[in-house]
Amino acid sequence: MSNKKPLSIIKIGGNIIDNPNELSQFLVDFSNIEGNKILVHGGGKSATKMAQSIGLTPQMIDGRRITDKPMLDVVVMIYAGEINKNIVAQLQANETNAMGFSGADGNLIQSTKRNHPTIDYGFVGDVQKVNTTLLEVLISNGIVPVFCAITHDKKGQLLNTNADTIASELAIALSDFFEVTLNYCFEKAGVLKNVEDENSVIQQINSDLYSKLKDEGAIHSGMIPKLDNCFNSLSKGVQKIKIGHHSMLQNKQALHTTITL
């Protein structure tokens, strides 16, 4: 029997952030989670809208944002500024003592600039190190960290970093100290067999079934990086991973997908 304390790490998708009512309800559900917890958020459509309003054309390759210097300025302003601080303020209104962080704050998440053989992603970071010492102190003192999708390289450079990966790397690093449950919350009820059918949730996926579904083309391409992150996390010590609508946080009967090895 593990004597580690439970820790819930919840990552929310852009569709929740883009809908003020949905976000407000999620933050109530999140605040009602008992015990230690961390929230990780991306940026939704706000960064794209802001970029377009100042004449920038956002570029994506395989669902990943190309982040040149002007786009980096926008994502830092929106992710680490507007979205992060609004979430922290709403959590404080819900009696959750949250603090907002980028990876640069307290050197909490250090990354390296992505070096791809054929694609220049610009100022995009791949996580290298999590400062578990400081995080453990924060969590043990009742602080709820709220991470945006910005890290740094310890050389003065901020880096745009995939929020799913940040959640996964936090979960892996902290599994040495806590019994970690990782929850990916988005607008769907879970991983779907048929994207047109909200009720076609695959309630449990292990690595064998995942390989089979991928071979059959039955997993939506946008879900594959998320599931790859999930299996990587489980193989490195994370206890449990769930994917689904945020209603699963408070309603144990809500449809969702559980990922197991």
Mean pLDDT score of the chain, rounded to an integer?
93
Q: Are 256 and 243 in contact (CB under 8 A)?
A: yes
What is the reported pTM?
0.95
Over residues 119-125, the mean pLDDT reads: 95
What's the pLDDT score for residue 33?
Answer: 95
Q: How far apart, in whole angstroms, are the C-alpha atoms of residue 11 and residue 17?
A: 11
Q: How far apart, in whole angstroms, are the C-alpha atoms of residue 66 and residue 71?
A: 8
What's the pLDDT score for residue 2?
Answer: 67
Residue 162: which of 2, 4, 5, 13 has the closest Cα?
A: 13
- Amino acid at the residue 176: D
- pLDDT digit string (tens) for 42-84? 987 899 999 999 999 988 887 677 999 999 999 999 999 999 9
Specify binding-site residues. Answer: 43-44, 65, 160
Joined together, the tokens standing for residue 214 give 């991928």
Query: DSSP E strands: which ranges in the chain?
Result: 5-12, 36-41, 59-61, 64-66, 98-101, 109-113, 125-130, 144-147, 150-152, 158-160, 178-185, 204-205, 240-244, 257-259
Neighbouring C-beta atoms of residue 229, cutoff 10 Å? 24
- What DSSP designation does 175 have? T
Neighbouring C-beta atoms of residue 222, cutoff 10 Å? 10
At residue 221, what are phi and psi to the nearest 5 degrees? Answer: -55, -35
What's the pLDDT score for residue 245?
Answer: 92
The separation between the first and the last C-alpha atoms of the chain, rounded to the nearest angstrom, is: 20
Joined together, the tokens standing for residue 123 give 């100022």
Specify binding-site residues for substrate. Answer: 43-44, 65, 160
Q: Which residues pair with residue 24 across a beta bridge?
A: none
As a whole-number percent, the residues of the chain with pLDDT over 70 amount to 99
Full set of structural domains in the chain with CATH: 6-259 (3.40.1160.10)
Q: How far apart, in whole angstroms, are the C-alpha atoms of residue 249 and residue 32?
A: 9
